[in-house]
Amino acid sequence: MTGDVAHDDSPHILSEQSGSAHLPSGRADGAAGADDEGNGEGATGDDEGNREGFRAFWADVVADEIEARDPDEPIVIKGGVSPSGVAHLGNFNEIMRGYFVAEVLRERGHEVRQVFTSDDRDPLRKLPRKLANADGEIVGLGEVDAGALGRNLGKPYTSIPDPFGERESYAAHFADLLKADADRLGIPVEMVSNTDLYAEGAFDDVTRTVLADLDGVREILSQYQEKVDDEYVPFNPICAECGKVTETVTAIDVAAETVEYVCTDMDVGDETIEGCGHEGTATFREGKLPWRLEWPGQWDVLGVDFEPFGKDHAEGSWPSGIDVARNVLGIEPPVPMVYEWFTLNGEPLSSSAGNIVTVPELLNLLEPEVLRYFFALHPKKARDLDIERLDQLVDRFDRFERAYFGEVDDEDLTAFAERAYPFVVGRTDNPPTERPVRLPYTFAAVLGMVDDSDFRERLARDEGHIPADASDETVEAALARVEKARNWAERTENEYDYRLQTALPDVDFDEDVAAALDDLADFVAAGHGGEAIQAEMYETARAHDVEVGDFFSAGYRLFFDDTQGPRLGEFLGELERDYVVARLRQEA
């Protein structure tokens, strides 16, 4: 069902190593803009045969620039997210993008620390529509203690009870989900809590620097956001009375490292989270900086050398972050990389809209290395993860894998695979020397129609997908894809979501139908393929004066004990020929 077919959007782009080509446009130091990423598919430049000055894998381009800055070690790579809803695949972008760069640097002999910050001192501003349990399964608010969230609007995520009643806070639950996803994909990431950083005093110096230069900070921020006036104070204390984050600071004592505040209302869109009116004093460790200051503050506190981020930040908080880093904190911003958002089933990933998928959900449908491959594709190219057509992604991974082993006549894809494949499969220390046996995904879905493991193996061998001399371990690994493809068929309710009857159903056909089935058996026995069998079914029905619909229904009854199913002729072409012939003749 699959093969080496041409794709209209090649799964790779050779990255031109021409100084910061991956940087977002508008960077203050005059580096190249995002549109300079490369010319699209394949190599560009003066000498395609030599390829000098080009990198087949984008992570090498990023690593080159990090090295060019001669950073102290360990080199720190960071990502981050506010724990506002389901820990979905989109939240995993920065972990995976950072991982590939980290692994390239480790391969080059550097010590690397990959961290992921949970911006968990942010206030909960609205109720999420859905959540995910400890296994990553998406659930509605009706299945948890939603009141644990609703009663705590305006409070930091670390102060909100876990609605599942399992962890010490909602923030801890969310962070555990991301850490578990990283573990599932073999990513050694260190989760860092913003709340912990504030509580232990890591942000003290940054906060002191910001509040000691209010005029300078206001002047910078006014270029990037509204509502920055002479009264604006960029610090949000946590109310000692009600526990909510407030935005109203009335006095600052930099030497004492305290602020005075009033707990006022917080506007969230068209809604208002009411403050309690309490007037109090908070230390620098009992509040937080606004995001435009907190982000560059993280760079300073953690010593960040590289951070990938979505294009929304590239157009918003990244430019202000550069300004704050250089002109307030006196540091250089990290090497950036803007990634293009990908969509899910043609629509943006959105927790609020419910268009989400989690890592565990996807790993129920495909192997970890296929998902890692998806993130290894060029980050500057928009891509859609269509669950209905997940077979296409798996087919492309299989082709990428074959290219690594020199089995695909595509010079550019082979160059990309030779560099990226060991990172995708997590084997940079010991690169694979023998290609794994892979069943084509849709064929695996066909095998998923039957529960008999021996029958599955026999069909796979008959179709030539498992070598005659394959070891038991190889066979088991190859057949593991069957259950994932079966899950895919059931989730999408596609043409493979049927169950093949291994035993002959109890059926009684009219003589003309039985004769037509016998003739079709002869046609199959002659060695014809699936498309030819599909066409022949029409001809055979007409030759025996049998209604075409009745003839197909008879075939479905024989193989599925049902009156409908997948495209029958093509399906029969995938099965063991002797089995099909015997079943059409109602012999077994």
Tokens linked to 107 = 């391969």
Number of alpha helices (DSSP H) and beta strands (DSSP E) in the chain: 22, 19
Q: Are 121 and 86 in contact (CB under 8 A)?
A: no
Mean pLDDT over all residues of the chain?
88
48-66 confidence digits (pLDDT tens): 333 456 789 999 999 999 9
Is the pLDDT higher at 373 or at 450? 373
What is the per-residue pLDDT for 100?
Answer: 97
Q: Which helix (H) or strand (E) holds 68?
A: helix 58-68
Low-confidence winner among 38-42, 118-122, 257-261, 471-475 (lowest mean pLDDT): 38-42
Q: Is the pLDDT of residue 17 over 80?
A: no
Query: How many angstroms separate the CA atoms of 386 and 471, rounded?
Result: 34
Low-confidence winner among 22-31, 52-61, 296-305, 359-368 (lowest mean pLDDT): 22-31
Query: 198: which residues sit within 8 A by CB, 6+ positions away?
Result: 121, 284, 285, 287, 288
The pTM score is 0.87
Average pLDDT over residues 188-208: 97
What is the per-residue pLDDT for 53?
Answer: 64
What is the per-residue pLDDT for 32?
Answer: 30
Query: 111: which residues sit within 8 A by CB, 6+ positions away?
Result: 73, 74, 75
Average pLDDT over residues 526-548: 95
What is the per-residue pLDDT for 91?
Answer: 83
Q: Which helix (H) or strand (E) holds 280?
A: strand 279-283
Name the packing angle between helices 548-560 and 577-584 (round to 10°): 120
Average pLDDT over residues 435-442: 96
Task: Classify residue 276 as exposed, middle or buried by CB count within 10 Å of its CB (0-12, 13-18, 19+).
Answer: middle
Average pLDDT over residues 99-122: 97
Task: Classify residue 527 as exposed, middle or buried by CB count within 10 Å of its CB (0-12, 13-18, 19+).
Answer: exposed
Low-confidence winner among 34-48, 245-259, 322-336, 372-386 (lowest mean pLDDT): 34-48
Query: How many angstroms separate the CA atoms of 287 and 283, rounded?
Result: 7
What is the per-residue pLDDT for 376?
Answer: 95
Highest mean pLDDT: which of 86-95, 482-491, 576-585?
482-491
Average pLDDT over residues 19-37: 35
Q: Are 537 and 568 in contact (CB under 8 A)?
A: yes
Lookup result for tokens 């560009």: 44
What is the per-residue pLDDT for 19?
Answer: 38
Q: Which helix (H) or strand (E) holds 551?
A: helix 548-560
Identify the CA nearest to 580 among candidates 499, 525, 519, 507.
525
CB atoms within 10 A of CB 222: 13
What is the per-residue pLDDT for 64?
Answer: 96
Residue 352's pLDDT band (boundaries 50, 70, 90)? Answer: low
Half-sphere exposure for 430 (CA within 13 Å, toward CB): 1
Q: Is the pLDDT of residue 393 over 60?
A: yes
Average pLDDT over residues 409-414: 94
What is the per-residue pLDDT for 26?
Answer: 35
Q: Are 435 and 478 in contact (CB under 8 A)?
A: no
Is the pLDDT higher at 164 or at 129? 164
CA distance readout (Å), 165 to 2, 100, 134, 181 = 47, 35, 11, 20
Query: How many angstroms separate the CA atoms of 361 and 88, rounded?
Result: 10
CA distance readout (Å), 191 to 74, 118, 132, 172, 518 = 16, 7, 18, 10, 65
Q: Are 169 and 157 in contact (CB under 8 A)?
A: yes
Q: Is the pLDDT of residue 7 over 90?
A: no
Is the pLDDT higher at 312 or at 152? 152
Three-state secondary-structure class, residue 521: helix
Low-confidence winner among 16-25, 37-46, 70-79, 562-571 (lowest mean pLDDT): 37-46
Identify the CA nearest to 82 among candidates 195, 167, 185, 186.
195
Q: Is the pLDDT of residue 261 over 90?
A: yes
Low-confidence winner among 33-47, 79-93, 479-493 (lowest mean pLDDT): 33-47
What is the per-residue pLDDT for 355?
Answer: 82
Start-to-end Cα distance in the chain: 26
What is the per-residue pLDDT for 588?
Answer: 67
Query: How many angstroms separate the CA atoms of 426 and 182, rounded?
Result: 13
Residue 147's pLDDT band (boundaries 50, 70, 90)? Answer: confident
Highest mean pLDDT: which of 88-97, 134-143, 512-521?
512-521
Task: Classify residue 239 as exposed, middle or buried by CB count within 10 Å of its CB (0-12, 13-18, 19+).
Answer: buried
Average pLDDT over residues 86-113: 93
Three-state secondary-structure class, residue 530: helix
Percent of the residues in the chain that have a pLDDT greater than 90, as a whole number: 70
Strands 347-348 and 343-344: what pairing?
antiparallel
3-state helix, strand, coil in the chain (%, to 5): 45, 15, 45
CA angle at residue 230 from 227 to 232, to 5 degrees? 55
Query: 388: which residues sit within 8 A by CB, 6+ positions away?
Result: 345, 492, 494
205-247 confidence digits (pLDDT tens): 999 999 999 999 999 999 999 889 999 999 999 999 999 999 9
* Alpha-carbon radius of gyration of the chain: 29
Which DSSP string corresponds to 238-254? BPTTT--B--EEEEEET
Strand partners, 282: 259
What is the per-residue pLDDT for 49?
Answer: 36
